[in-house]
């Protein structure tokens, strides 16, 4: 998908904060795992589900899969990362906490960080994203 198509698609879909506050908020949440086997999803898995890819089915096939790169197809990851209109690294949204356990220039790692390290609810993640203009 080229940049023009990405920009057009991003205008058609709601902001990521709205997705978390109004859609993903209805999904039971897990911490420390993409999918807990009992219907709970982490922030990344929940937003992937919103975009049409349910990690539940794939985790059940191979429970040994642990990384988002293996669990979530690149097309879905690109769609999630495409929710950030900022392309300048210095302006990319990041958490201001002191931990160094996530990559600051990836929305995927930011969602995992907010979900697992700060244990924010989906609504809190939506509010945080909204404060960043997302």
| Rounded distance between C-alpha atoms, residue 53 and residue 73, angstroms | 8
Assess whether pLDDT exceeds 60 at residue 69: no
**Average pLDDT score over residue span 59-75:** 61
Q: What is the pLDDT of residues 111-124, one digit of tens each?
A: 999 999 999 999 99
Say which range, 9-13, 31-35, 46-50, 110-114, has the weakest mean pLDDT: 9-13
Assess whether pLDDT exceeds 80 at residue 90: no
Percentage above 70 pLDDT, the chain: 76
| pLDDT reported for residue 106 | 84
Residues pairing with 41 in the sheet: 29, 35
| Rounded distance between C-alpha atoms, residue 118 and residue 31, angstroms | 10
Instruction: Report domain extents, the chain.
Output: 3-131
């Amino acid at each position: 998908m080229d940049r023009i198509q990405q920009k057009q698609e991003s205008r058609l879909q709601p902001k990521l904060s709205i997705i978390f506050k109004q859609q993903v908020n209805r999904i039971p949440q897990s911490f420390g795992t993409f999918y807990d086997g009992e219907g709970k999803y982490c922030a990344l898995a929940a937003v992937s589900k919103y975009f049409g890819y349910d990690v539940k089915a794939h985790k059940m096939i191979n429970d040994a899969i642990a990384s988002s790169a293996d669990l979530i197809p690149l097309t879905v990851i690109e769609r999630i990362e495409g929710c950030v209109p900022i392309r300048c690294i210095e302006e990319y949204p990041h958490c201001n906490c002191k931990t160094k356990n996530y990559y600051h220039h990836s929305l995927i790692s930011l969602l995992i960080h907010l979900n697992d390290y700060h244990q924010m609810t989906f609504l809190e993640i939506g509010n945080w994203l909204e404060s960043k203009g997302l």
